[in-house]
Amino acid sequence: MSYDKYIVSFSGGKDSTATFLYLLEHGVPVERIELWHQEIDGREKTFFDWEITPDYCRRFAEAFGVAIYFQWKEGGFYRELVRKNSLTAPNCFELPYGGIDRTGGQRGKLSTRCKFPQCSPDLKVRWCSSYLKIDVCSSAIINQ
């Protein structure tokens, strides 16, 4: 199969690194690969993730000559964690030709989170990956 672009949701960890290397080893041209990193803390302050992660991902991409784009939920993990009687925050994402777009956070019903994500397969209580990674990444795909 051949695609115009191969998007790798890239955390900088072993799984996403292996996925990227797998594509290269199987002849996918580096110019067709994009690394997409979801900044779970947003851009305001570091709360949960390692401070060095975004820079590490940037430097990894630079070393391989591959494009990297960042996505995040406004206010990140902390804002979602303490959300009380409000909407979930908008999703933001870098655009391929520069700039940042923003979507969501304007409709839905007011709700309260005020709980830490639990270790459970149930996404009703284990919300970190779904809200801060999967939804943010899919929002960027849909809105480009």
pLDDT in tens, 73-93: 998 888 887 888 888 889 999
Tell me, what DSSP letter sits at residue 134? I
The CA distance from 141 to 144, in Å, is 6
In a domain, 93, yes or no: yes
In a domain, 51, yes or no: yes
pTM of the prediction?
0.86
68 vs 117, residue with greater confidence: 68
Domain for residue 34, yes or no?
yes
Please give the residue range of the domain that contains residue 128: 6-142
Joined tokens for residue 130: 């779904």
CB 69 within 8 A of CB 57: no
Q: Tell me, what amino acid is at 57?
A: C
CA distance 20 to 5: 13
The partner residues of 102 in beta bridges, in order of sequence, read 92
Whole-angstrom CA distances from 71 to 24, 46, 120, 126, 136 are 23, 15, 25, 20, 6
Q: 36-45 pLDDT, tens per residue?
A: 999 988 888 8
- Interatomic CA distance for residues 9 and 15, integer angstroms: 10
- Indicate whether 45 belongs to any domain: yes
Q: What is the mean pLDDT of residues 115-134?
A: 67
Domain count, the chain: 1
Q: Would 1 be classed as within a structural domain?
A: no
